[in-house]
Structure 1
Amino acid sequence: MLFKRVKLGITLLILLFLLGILMAACNSETTDPEPEEPEETEEPAETDESEEEPADEGPQMGGTLTGAMDTAPAGVFNPIFYQEAYEANILDFTHEGLVSQNEELGFEPNLAKEWTINEDQTEITLKLEEGVTWHDGEPFTAEDVVFTYKAISSPGYVEAGGIRTDYAVRLLGYEAFNSGETDEFEGVVAEDDLTVTFKFAEPNVTILKDVSFSIIPEHIFGDVPIAEIPSHPATLNAGEVIGTGPFQFTEMLEREQYVLTKHADYWNGEPYLDQIVWRVVDQSVMLGLLENGEIDFIADPNGVPAADFETVEALDHVKIIEQTDFGYQLMGFKMNHRTDADVESGALNPDNWVPNEDMSVQLIRQAMAYAIDRQAIVDNLLYGHGSVINAPVAQQFWAYDESATTAYEYDPEKANALLDEAGYVDTNDDGFRETPDGEEWIVNLNYPTGNKLREASAPILAQFLEAVGIKIDLRQPKEMTAYVEELTNDNTDWDLYLIGWSLGSGDPDPSGLWKSDAAYNFGRWNNPDSDQLMLDAMKAPEAFEQSYREEKYSEWQGLFSEDLPAVLLYAQNKIYGFNERLNGVNPMPYSFNNDPHLWWVSE
């Protein structure tokens, strides 16, 4: 059965969104800058040399930087319990791991200055830096490392909202300790104050990634029950959050401003800056604030909107860096829902899940993928600053294999055919399909506020789907904190959801997002073959050969693409904009917030 095409309507919607961007830009005093010729004629050599003298003197001590993000952090400032990238904008400056990564994603010393790994890759012993102190002056020791990993291995951690178990599940004795069978934690041992050994149940191909997790202080949380850590003052309150990083979280005007003050006794050298201030501002006014100097940088998680790229690039006092995003945006399918009892207890038990009748049909999911013109979204909303992807692995990783996937190019005729095959047809000639039982079929689409590009995508996606006869209930967007809470506690009627993932850079292993019992598997995808392939890709000794892992991850990406728990919409390029007075910027492939103790300002 044929359905009316709404291509014109979609195009109009895109044009209206772009017009809205231009109007917002004008309202924010972000009109195109004046031609540069007058500046060129007013730059005698003597002035140039005079102006460049401060930069020639090298880094300067002091000063405050102001950054902007479009959504307020949810408020959980604890590495073992936070969930959002906005909270990471605080934690990136306050907490650290034993090892860090370089531009090639190789691991380098951080809180640990050196390490040795035994021959069969089941143990790693790390020597910690001497003289490291927490923000409150207490010494950092191996006991803090043991406590951190013991906490994320503890019974009740997941039920309390913890989602970082992937760093601990391979540790020796994890299952016995996590289940409460024993009080003895074998996996991490403090040999002395500055030496710690991690022991794994089997040879571990991701051994350095697993020891890279940010450390929290034992002297603060050691006597706190795991269930109470998320609500503890040292998790929630500025001035009480304690890390070893170059900056301390000192002040907060909730949902408006977050202040980081330098940790003068930072072990890696006193930071140059006095403070870094995060302001929460709407994307529509960010550009104006950057232009007039009220903010100094726009970076993670969303960066400069693609629509503003040329305007920002033309600003004399603003530098711009563009790089491929280490993540992607998706439209997920709620394939299953948890029971009320599991939500209340915090359990993630796939055996108890209740299928979402329509979204659990593979043909429906594939039809929706064919119905969406993702390239049009990249071309018209991202202005080409991004790419369509079909594999849920960061493009920078060696494991990424687009060739293993189904492309799902825009094909509404194919979408219509698949929906017909699934038995969803228009039985009453109202232009919309009914279920195979003849019932009215309405699919709800849910999305959060904050990211204007994602907000603009939602109605466009709805129109693409309605063009093939799927009636969409485009729900009012929710503020991100409330949205994630409802997305997590998914004993609701949700069908489709929009979200973006900033991926971990330690290893391409996708199990943290897509394994059946992973906390971030919000669609509750339950595919035993998928789980097995992810396990096989980590199995020693074969997994120590990268070619073997490449093969397994290619198979997995093909399976993902066929079963399709989510439509990967696009990978948006990260566009960072910062005032030229900010020096020392050296973004990693996965983050702008790299070595902030080396950032400095030239006035």
Structure 2
Amino acid sequence: MKKGKWKFLSLLIVLGLLLSACSSGTSGKKSEGQEGQGSEPELVDPSSFPKTVVNEETEIDGGSLTYALVSDTAFEGILDYAFYESSPDAEVISFFAEPIFAYDANYQITNDGESAAKFEMSEDGKTMTVTIQDGVTWHDGEPLKAEDYAFSFEIIGHPDYTGVRYGDALISGIVGMEDYHNGKADTISGIKILNDKQLTITWEEANPSLLSGIWSYAEPKHHFEGIEIGDLASSDKIHTDLLGFGPFKVTNIVPGESVEYEAYENYYGGAPKLDSVVLKVVSPTTIGEAIKKGDVDIASFPTDQYDKDYVPTNFQYLADMDAAYTYIGFKLGHWDAEAGVAVQDKDTPLQDVKLRQAIGYAMDNKSVAERFYQGLRVPATTLMIPFFADFHNPDIEGYSYNTEKANQLLDEAGYKDVDGDGYREDLEGNEMVFNFASMSGGETAEPLANFYIQNWKDVGIHVQLLEGRLHEMNSFYDRVEGDDEAVDIYQGAWGTGTDPDPYGLWSKLAPYNYPRFVNDKNEELLAAGHSEDAFDQEFRKDIYDQWQQLMVDEAPVIPTLYRYYLMAVNNRVKNYSIEAGSELGWEDVAVTAEKAFVEE
């Protein structure tokens, strides 16, 4: 969809949609296909799927569409771009709020096409002038103003801000932001409001990620009047009493379950073709039937449920490469909230890099990708995903399945099975057991977790599910984010957004650095990757090549799978697209029949 849908994925904790696990039937046993056993599976060609729905029928006037938020848990309901942390909340937000800029096919902000604001850069690349366009109004009729965009930076940079966005270098690097963030100044000197429609933003240094990574969301300042920034996270203004300037406005919310939207007739991009949209949470285990019965019109379809031999009659699939990856993370420390920095201080054998590397080599991601996802996922190698074709280095091998190498590393490091129970003890000869936190999410979540546990058992590493079970998405990330001492290893997933700069995920200053990994070379390379020198593409590629290799060598996390994503769309839907740079937005989506088609 147009108007920055791609950037709305930025830094999402992509949870239920990404971590749908592997197919049932593994149950902790070695899968067919490990160690070269079994026949080669027939894989799907993801490029064979369209990116835009095919519908030549005549659209009807108005109508309502049902959108499925596919999740095994309720959405949290933190419905504001500055505060949300989960993919389900971002899906809810996307209908009523949007970025102020448009994005092109290369995922960079552009002045071409329709958008709420235009921009102009100074010759030195340090100052941006932003101009709000005429006719852009919030859903209460108030005009979008320059101060609304400035206010979003004031929220995120405020000393009392309780969210996690401040670690972004394009926010913290604004002139005067550090003093404002530390309470030494009441305003951000690098942001100047020129008039109701125009402001300038100046950064300390030019940054090659500016056009792909700038924070592009405004906040309705008048809507938050009288509420302290430290109280916003708990305010109704970001949970139920919502205000945006997108094509639809919220009319009703059943917290965690459903949202009703109606068309905003004064939307600056033109009145939406639909009268209304209903979003409802649907479990991954039942979404297939819901689509076939016509209970929903659009849904993210779990790739582990895709059947290449099934030909749908009432809906069609769209597919594209996802800006995301799944990974195994190791808890190495804690987040010092007062200092705003990660501290790598946890007393755990996982501080041993050879142990972490061995865990990586023990994992059979190739079997998971091929046998359980039929080619819609592929083994991951580095933390710079193929989505960023200019920077992903395919020559770095990462952690391919190699139990011989895993055992060799463990032997070299001195981890031995002292008591003959099949598990290795720590370096002092004591029992070594790690708690593995993994999310619930469909029928295959537990089998996948058990599959990896069996992989690790095969090389003598004792890993058990945290508290003997999977954990609901919100509580899972509460514990991982909160550095729960009981969590040793966890299975997570990241949506990278459209900016290749990994600083916001893996710097010691980034709250999203959940392993709490601290490494001087890592900081040096991350800083160089968005320095002025990095405007030279070859320089930046070399820096990111070094960074990818460093993260493989240090292994604070092990990337497991890159992925394609599927959307299932009812045949009555028209003008819906997932293609980058598409000029189709939610206001263009229409239906060609009053009711959704059902399976024949």
Same fold (TM over 0.5): yes
C-alpha offsets along residues 403-425 of structure 1, whole Å, 9 cap, x if unaligned?
35333221111111111111111
C-alpha offsets along residues 168-207 of structure 1, whole Å, 9 cap, x if unaligned?
1121111111111111311222211111211111223223
Distance 1:122 1:402, change over 3 A: closer
Match of 1:318 among 312, 315, 319: 315
| TM, length-normalised to structure 1 | 0.85
Cα distance in 2 for partners of 1:575, 1:63 equals: 22
State the Cα distance separating 1:136 from its structure 2 match. Answer: 1.4
Cα distance in 2 for partners of 1:431, 1:76 equals: 46
Match of 2:30 in 1: 10
User: Is 1:307–2:301 an aligned residue pair?
Assistant: no
Match of 1:137 among 138, 141, 155: 141
State the Cα distance separating 1:583 from its structure 2 match. Answer: 0.8
State the Cα distance separating 1:390 from its structure 2 match. Answer: 1.2
Instruction: Identify, as 1 or 2, the structure richer in helix.
Output: 1
| TM, length-normalised to structure 2 | 0.86
State the Cα distance separating 1:493 from its structure 2 match. Answer: 2.5
Match of 1:87 in 2: 89
Aligned to 1:325, what secondary structure does the other structure show? strand
Match of 1:334 in 2: 331
Distance 1:272 1:236, change over 3 A: same
Cα distance in 1 for partners of 2:60, 2:387 equals: 32
Match of 1:496 in 2: 489
User: Is 1:596–2:596 an aligned residue pair?
Assistant: no
Aligned to 1:145, what secondary structure does the other structure show? helix
Equivalent position amino acid for 1:498 in 2: Q
Match of 1:411 in 2: 402
Cα distance in 2 for partners of 1:199, 1:551 equals: 28
User: Is 1:206–2:206 an aligned residue pair?
Assistant: no
Cα distance in 2 for partners of 1:364, 1:296 equals: 47
Matches within 5 A, 1:335-484: 335-338=332-335, 342=336, 348-351=340-343, 353-403=344-394, 405-450=396-441, 452-475=443-466, 476-484=469-477
Match of 1:574 in 2: 565
Matches within 5 A, 1:244-259: 244-259=245-260
Return 5+ residue gaps in structure 2 as ranges.
1-25, 35-53, 594-600
Distance 1:68 1:13, change over 3 A: farther
C-alpha offsets along residues 510-552 of structure 1, whole Å, 9 cap, x if unaligned?
0111111211111111111111101011111x22122211111
C-alpha offsets along residues 227-274 of structure 1, whole Å, 9 cap, x if unaligned?
11100101111xx11111111222222332222222121111111112
Distance 1:221 1:246, change over 3 A: same
Aligned to 2:129, what secondary structure does the other structure show? strand
User: Does the 8 Å CA contact 1:404/1:554 hold for their aligned counterparts?
Assistant: no
Distance 1:451 1:562, change over 3 A: farther
Distance 1:519 1:455, change over 3 A: farther
State the Cα distance separating 1:451 from its structure 2 match. Answer: 5.0
User: Does the 8 Å CA contact 1:170/1:204 hold for their aligned counterparts?
Assistant: no
Match of 1:19 in 2: none
Return 5+ residue gaps in structure 1 as ranges.
1-5, 15-51
Cα distance in 2 for partners of 1:7, 1:587 equals: 35
Specify the structure having the higher radius of gyration (Cα). Answer: 1
Cα distance in 1 for partners of 2:64, 2:509 equals: 46
Cα distance in 1 for partners of 2:172, 2:85 equals: 19
Cα distance in 2 for partners of 1:74, 1:256 equals: 9
Match of 2:68 in 1: 67
Aligned to 1:283, what secondary structure does the other structure show? coil
User: Is 1:539–2:531 an aligned residue pair?
Assistant: yes
Aligned to 1:93, what secondary structure does the other structure show? coil
State the Cα distance separating 1:452 from its structure 2 match. Answer: 4.7
Match of 1:46 in 2: none
Aligned to 2:94, what secondary structure does the other structure show? helix
Cα distance in 1 for partners of 2:522, 2:60 equals: 50
Distance 1:81 1:365, change over 3 A: same
Instruction: Please tell me the root mean square deviation across aligned C-alpha atoms, in Å.
Output: 2.4
User: Does the 8 Å CA contact 2:263/2:275 hold for their aligned counterparts?
Assistant: yes
C-alpha offsets along residues 455-510 of structure 1, whole Å, 9 cap, x if unaligned?
432110000001111111112111111111111110412111011111111x2000
Equivalent position amino acid for 2:352 in 1: V
User: Does the 8 Å CA contact 1:405/1:562 hold for their aligned counterparts?
Assistant: no
Distance 1:400 1:387, change over 3 A: farther
Cα distance in 2 for partners of 1:254, 1:96 equals: 21
Cα distance in 1 for partners of 2:254, 2:589 equals: 24
Aligned residues: 543
Cα distance in 2 for partners of 1:554, 1:585 equals: 37
User: Does the 8 Å CA contact 1:13/1:460 hold for their aligned counterparts?
Assistant: no
Greater displacement, 127-136 / 220-229: 220-229
State the Cα distance separating 1:13 from its structure 2 match. Answer: 12
Bigger relative contact order, structure 1 or 2 (CA pairs below 8 A, ≥6 apart): 2
Cα distance in 2 for partners of 1:257, 1:114 equals: 34
Match of 2:505 among 503, 513, 535: 513
User: Does the 8 Å CA contact 2:385/2:392 hold for their aligned counterparts?
Assistant: no
User: Does the 8 Å CA contact 1:326/1:394 hold for their aligned counterparts?
Assistant: yes
Aligned to 1:500, what secondary structure does the other structure show? strand
State the Cα distance separating 1:565 from its structure 2 match. Answer: 1.2
User: Does the 8 Å CA contact 1:399/1:549 hold for their aligned counterparts?
Assistant: no
State the Cα distance separating 1:93 from its structure 2 match. Answer: 1.6
Distance 1:508 1:119, change over 3 A: same
User: Does the 8 Å CA contact 2:299/2:568 hold for their aligned counterparts?
Assistant: yes
